[in-house]
């Protein structure tokens, strides 16, 4: 009788263990927190590395919005240096009357708007890729805010270069780090200015910021070195996507 009781007790414990690991859903079909395999210590504590490969599909999305940012930066610098708009915007001048807008807000303001527009599109795609769903109205306002902030950072940095190179690069590095931190918070649904308490997130944000700064500095110094900007920006976005997965 005793062995039978022990065997029954063992089977009951195994059944309970399996039940704890089985995902549970509420009346709305939503996975309840604290249930399922995702809450096991091994899975819950596992975090992607900074260079984790997200899969071919997500990587191609990273390439796409990196390309959008690169085109925006090329356009921005060309206009900032007093050059003519490249074909991308040149074809839209008659439709959007961009010349009239430029005369009203000035060259600096116009270049900031152009860059912010490209960055806005890039960040919307980034947010959708990270969350798997289209952005909400609140997220759009947040993305518009930090996209405008990033555009202003690039503009101010370019203005500071002839004044003091060290001041310019220091400002650029620190300001972009803050902007990247804000963007990561929005991606995770956190408060706008919440400071990260995770060392890996802090390290990732620092690395991706340095990557973008190095690429930008080299490219602005010699525009023939566009490849350096592309590599720096691609690495930035690649790491940023992984940082966005770290909690």
In a domain, 4, yes or no: no
C-alpha distances (whole Å) from 177 to each of 8, 60, 148, 211 are 59, 25, 15, 11
In a domain, 160, yes or no: yes
Whether the CB-CB separation of 177 and 204 falls below 8 Å is answered with no
Count other C-beta atoms under 10 Å from residue 136's C-beta: 12
Domain that holds residue 163: 54-243
More confident of the two residues 27 and 156: 156
Q: Write out pLDDT tens, residues 163-200.
A: 999 999 999 999 999 999 999 999 998 888 888 778 89
More confident of the two residues 245 and 89: 245
In a domain, 43, yes or no: no
The pTM for the full model equals 0.75
pLDDT at 133: 87
In a domain, 104, yes or no: yes
In a domain, 157, yes or no: yes
In a domain, 15, yes or no: no
- Domain count along the chain: 1
Count other C-beta atoms under 10 Å from residue 76's C-beta: 24
């Amino acid at each position: 009788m005793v062995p039978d009781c022990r065997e029954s007790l063992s089977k009951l414990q195994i059944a309970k263990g399996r039940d704890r690991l089985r995902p549970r859903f509420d009346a709305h079909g939503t996975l309840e927190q604290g249930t399922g395999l995702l809450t096991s210590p091994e899975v819950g504590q596992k975090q992607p590395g900074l260079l984790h490969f997200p899969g071919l599909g997500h990587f191609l999305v990273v390439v796409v919005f990196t390309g959008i940012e690169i085109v925006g930066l090329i356009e921005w610098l060309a206009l900032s240096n007093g050059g003519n708009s490249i074909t991308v915007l040149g074809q839209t001048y008659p439709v959007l009357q961009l010349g009239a807008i430029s005369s009203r807000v000035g060259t600096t303001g116009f270049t900031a708007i152009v860059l912010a527009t490209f960055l806005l599109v890039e960040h919307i795609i980034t947010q959708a890729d990270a969350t798997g769903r289209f952005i909400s109205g609140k997220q759009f306002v947040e993305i518009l805010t930090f996209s405008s902030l990033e555009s202003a950072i690039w503009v101010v940095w370019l203005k500071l270069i002839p004044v003091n190179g060290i001041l310019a690069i220091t400002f650029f590095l620190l300001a972009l780090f803050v902007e990247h931190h804000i963007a990561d918070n929005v991606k995770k649904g956190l408060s706008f200015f919440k400071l990260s308490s995770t060392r890996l997130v802090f390290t990732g944000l620092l690395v991706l910021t340095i990557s973008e700064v190095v690429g930008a500095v080299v490219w602005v110094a010699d525009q023939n070195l566009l490849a350096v900007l592309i590599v720096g920006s691609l690495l930035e976005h690649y790491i940023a996507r992984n940082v966005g997965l770290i909690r």
